[in-house]
Chain A
Amino acid sequence: MHFKARASAAAADKALQAKLATAKGLFVEGRRRAVAEIDLEATREASKAIRNRCIANLDLWLERFEEEATRRGGQVLWARDGAEICRLVVDIARRHGVRKAIKSKSMLSEEAGLNAALEAAGVQPVETDLGEYILQINGNESPSHIIAPAIHKTKEEVAELFERVHGKPRKTDIGEMTREAREMLRAHFLSADMGISGGNFLVAETGSVALVTNEGNGRMVTTLPKVHVVITGVEKVIPTLEDLATLMRILPRSATGQTISNYFSVLTGVKRPEDTDGPEHLYFILVDNGRVDLVGSGFQDMLRCIRCAACMNHCPVYQTIGGHAYGWVYPGPMGAVLTPLFVGLENAIDLPHAATLCNQCGVVCPVKIPLPDLMRKLREQQVERGLRPWGERAALTFWAWLARHPALYGLAAKLGVRYLSWLAGGEDRIRILGIAPAWTDGRDFPAPEGRTFRELYSEKHR
């Protein structure tokens, strides 16, 4: 992964930033209004406590979930990693003779690269979340945000894409464009043999999956086809419906600034004889893919994450570079923590450093994940494992040694300041700083006054 190169390109892309700014306005302002309706701090504390309670006894709650879901006709399968997800879904598709699968949003299917695996097995995957649909028909582009996957596209770009792919006259009105997408998707909804969804929460006491959506496609995906496959991380389990109610007070508010999402489904069991709709076959694929290792580790707090995206919506770095720069499924602060944990510290070396540690993410997180602390811990692990560049380590070690020797430090500071003054050449700024060119590429470096505080202070107090 070449985060730096992608991030640099994105940082210079003012068109991208304009799109992200629109979304920021929507999500940040929306959240601000929505959280004002509740006792935010109490709800954050309660949500954190619920999530901690599940994670502390993850195995027990998962067993309870399995028992309850099985009792209601569901089948619970376990996947260690992305490859196992793909294998399980393909097996289910073969068993039921599935040729087309409709999907609502699932980040786990992104982790697994499921669409490619389905295509290879002769099953056509169709994304039905509007954002995901846009990306799929644009050559299987990857999402750049976990709840607004096509946030990096303008209305005009989508209009052009629809015209090209749908072969219909170009629309300019968002409502009309959405209607056109619905018309295209309707045939798929009616002809699919399998629905694949994610899951926002798994409720242990009832064996249910809770889905939070805004477009209604989730309902179609989970009730129309005869087979419904839920793919979600093992950490998504919560004990009770009461807990679900608490978390639902904070999830839509944190995510989209909604009091409640347009659709909120709690799906339990297979279709019963008296039911008019619902799947005949219901599978839960509960996925580890790096999560179980976090239990009991220094990163256990991360398992509380409810994927609301508030951290990225409020992140100044995300707002500048967008999601694709982060290189994998999860962008923004939560991605900067999860990606190294899931794909390996050495494979995402820049991500824990791609933050100013401003803690805007930490203060908006609905389950109080200390994201900057976790990024700092990942930085520590990089140092411990010798993954940082030699020059950086040497410079830091020398500086830290010097700072523990005040007389030498004072001398070095005195000389350093004189060098900087010389560079400024009588001006109040340094335009090119050879020792840190990355600074002066984008801005000046204010010149020092000329002498250090310690020099001046000791002269005065001699």
Chain B
Amino acid sequence: MRVGLFVTCLVDLLRPRIGFAALRLLEAAGCEVVVPESQTCCGQPAWNSGDRRAARLLAEKAIAEFEGCDYLVAPSGSCAGMIRAHYPELFADDPAWHERAAALGSRTYELSDFLVAVAKLDKVPGDFTGTVTYHDSCSGLRELGVKAQPRALLAKLPGVTLTEMDGAEECCGFGGAFAVKFGDISARLAEKKCENVRASGADAVVLGDLGCMLSIEGKLRRLGDEKTRVLHIAEILAGEP
């Protein structure tokens, strides 16, 4: 099957290794992976800022880039949620585009969801050893139902013990532009999340979204925690290249 990897703008800018880890995992699952080089952003920042027009233009671009693939997979619940749950809303008044948006939406998956539900990945190459706790990102969990999938994949790593933290489903405070519009509220939410991460005693917090990663890692370090690692699910599953 032909899978289009939607790298996401934050992975492109800040953590390319997560993009390559996702690529390796998809290939390990036997997918033919294409990475359209003209891809940029799914348009969520515009959508959440109330700029429907700009969001729609970026959605059209992404749809054109990916609709030739059997599936679109993103290492982010937030971007995959934007495409699956919100693209069709953007074209409510345009039947032709709406159909294309809905068609792509129904074939769009968050990475761990795809690896479990569609690709049925059996063996994962990673070799992390230690205790981890999983942070459920809001969009992945509540828009796409990503909850058991990453945990099922982590269970395939023999050296990993999963320990659940309190409030795993609570927001890390990122919220896109919220993080800078209301920096102090955002940082307080991140602090509560970090307290829960640390109380779990895990060596690493694993998550599926770059936004959460920036918020949690940034706060852990500011709090003086140099020890707790913050890993994307793709990184821990794929291991070192």
Residues of A at the B interface (CB closer than 8 Å) are 4, 7-8, 11-12, 17, 316-317, 320-321, 350, 353-360, 362-363, 376, 378-384, 388, 392, 396-397, 399-400, 402-404, 406, 409, 413, 416-417, 420, 428-429, 436-439, 441-446, 448-449, 451-454, 456-458
Contact = CB atoms under 8 A, between A and B. Distances in A.
A302 B143 CA distance: 20
Tell me the interface secondary structure of chain B in the complex.
Answer: helix
A413 B19 contact: no
Nearest to B23: A457
Contacts of B159: none
B138 interface: yes
Given A383-B49, A453-B16, A442 B190 contact: yes
Interface stretch (B98-106, B114-122, B149-157, B177-185): B177-185
B47 A356 contact: no
Given A396-B49, A454-B37, A363 B142 contact: yes
Interface in B11-56: 11-17, 19-20, 35, 37-41, 43, 45-52, 54
A363 B184 CA distance: 26
Contacts of A355: 175, 178
Nearest to A451: B16
Identify the interface centre among A321, A396, A443, A445: most chain B CB within 10 Å of its CB. Answer: A443
Contacts of B12: 413, 452-454
Contact of A458 (B37, B45, B187): B37
A404 B52 contact: no
A321 B54 contact: no
A17 B215 CA distance: 20
A72 B214 CA distance: 63
Interface of B: 7, 9, 11-17, 19-20, 35, 37-41, 43, 45-52, 54, 57-58, 61, 138-139, 142-143, 169-171, 173-192, 213-215, 217-219, 221-222
Nearest to A455: B16
Nearest to B187: A442
B184 A442 contact: yes
A317 B184 CA distance: 11
A442 B13 contact: no
Given A396-B54, A406-B39, A11 B221 contact: no
Contacts of B178: 353-357
Contacts of B191: 442
B46 A396 contact: yes
B183 A442 contact: yes
Contacts of A428: 221
A173 B15 CA distance: 55
A12 B11 CA distance: 32
A316 B214 contact: no
Contacts of A454: 7, 12, 37
Contact of A320 (B39, B46, B179, B188): B188
A416 B218 CA distance: 19
Contact of A7 (B7, B185, B192): B185
Nearest to B217: A446
A320 B52 CA distance: 30
A446 B37 contact: no
A284 to B, nearest CB: 39
A412 to B, nearest CB: 10
15 contacts: A356-B176, A357-B176, A359-B143, A379-B50, A382-B50, A392-B49, A400-B43, A404-B61, A406-B37, A406-B38, A438-B186, A442-B186, A443-B218, A445-B218, A448-B15
B58 A404 contact: yes
B51 A356 contact: no
Contacts of B51: 380, 383, 396-397, 400
B58 A400 contact: yes
A416 B185 contact: no
Given A360-B138, A362-B142, A448-B15, 5 more contacts: A359-B138, A449-B17, A452-B13, A454-B7, A457-B37
Given A353-B178, A360-B138, A452-B16, A441 B39 contact: no
A357 B213 CA distance: 17
A292 B179 CA distance: 35
A399 B45 contact: yes
Please name the 9 residue pairs, one residue from A and one from B, whose CB atoms are nearest each other, closest first: A442-B187, A356-B175, A438-B183, A379-B50, A400-B54, A453-B16, A358-B138, A443-B218, A358-B171
Nearest to B7: A453
Nearest to A427: B221
Contacts of A406: 37-40
A429 B220 CA distance: 11
B146 to A, nearest CB: 13
